[in-house]
Amino acid sequence: MRAVVTDFDGTITKRDVAELLLQEFTGDAWLEIEREHARIGTRETLVREFDLVRATRLQILAAAERLAEIDPTFPTFLAYARRNGIPVEIVSEGFDTYLGHLLARWGLDVPFRTNHAEFDDDRIELSFPYADATCTLCGTCKMDRVLALRAAGYRVAYVGNGISDICPALEADLVFAKDDLAALCRKHEREHIPIRDFGDVQRGIASWQ
Ligand SMILES: [Mg+2]
């Protein structure tokens, strides 16, 4: 049995939607915090970055719709996975407000685990329902899903592009990587398949029997 766990921002979307939202609502202010990402972890990075944002829920949704661009090969890959009985799930260090909204707009029904945002007028408060109790680095523990699916008897392929994808990539049975994750895999000497999009993932899964 095969399963696929995938990142959302910059992996299913062409560019990182959370980063596009930060750029839209804070200008370059978030970049100073982003430079500390590898040192302070994703959870603290996110909290500090979105603390700078002044935007209502509706403004976030409108901006996400305008800025987000889906990898056009993802729906085709999803259909392929369904036909072949391969479960696909999303793990994300973004947050539910825009992620759920975008998937619904694109007509995609994929289970996801991500951080939770509460809005108080134009302030955003993030919380972390899928955090690992023993690790403070990430909001959503992506590795938990890889381990849980493996414990359920699956061989797990992981797809990602960022710093928060390295833990699950180190645990997965097969890794598809681009951008920062590809660089981190090289650094950790983690075998991986470099990808441009889900067309490459589909070819890789097809030959992984
Ligand atoms: Mg990403």
Query: What are the chain's domains?
Result: 2-206 (3.40.50.1000)
Distance 139 CA to ligand 1 centre (A): 13
Is 79 a residue whose pLDDT tops 90? yes
**Digit-coded pLDDT (tens) for 29-52:** 999 999 998 899 889 999 999 999
- Give distance in angstroms: CA of 50 to centre of ligand 1: 16
Cα separation, 3 vs 87, whole angstroms:
5
pLDDT at 136: 85
Ligand 1 centroid vs 119 CA: distance in angstroms? 23
Q: Is 117 helix (H, G, I), strand (E, B) or coil?
A: strand
pLDDT for position 209 = 85
Q: Is the pLDDT of residue 149 over 90?
A: yes
CB-based neighbours (< 5 A) of ligand 1, an ion: 7, 9-10, 161-162
Report which secondary-structure segment, H or E, holds 39: helix 37-40
pLDDT reading at 66 higher than 90: yes
pLDDT at 38: 86
Residue type at position 119? F
Strand partners, 4: 88, 157
Write the pLDDT tens digit of every residue in 107-137. 999 999 999 999 999 999 999 999 998 988 8
Beta strand pairing call for 2-6 and 123-127: unpaired
- What is the pTM (predicted TM-score) of this model? 0.96
Residue 189 neighbours by CB under 8 Å, 6+ apart: none
How many angstroms does the Cα of residue 1 sit away from the middle of ligand 1? Answer: 26
Point out which residues pair with 119 in neighbouring strands: 124
CA of 176 to the centre of ligand 1 (A): 12
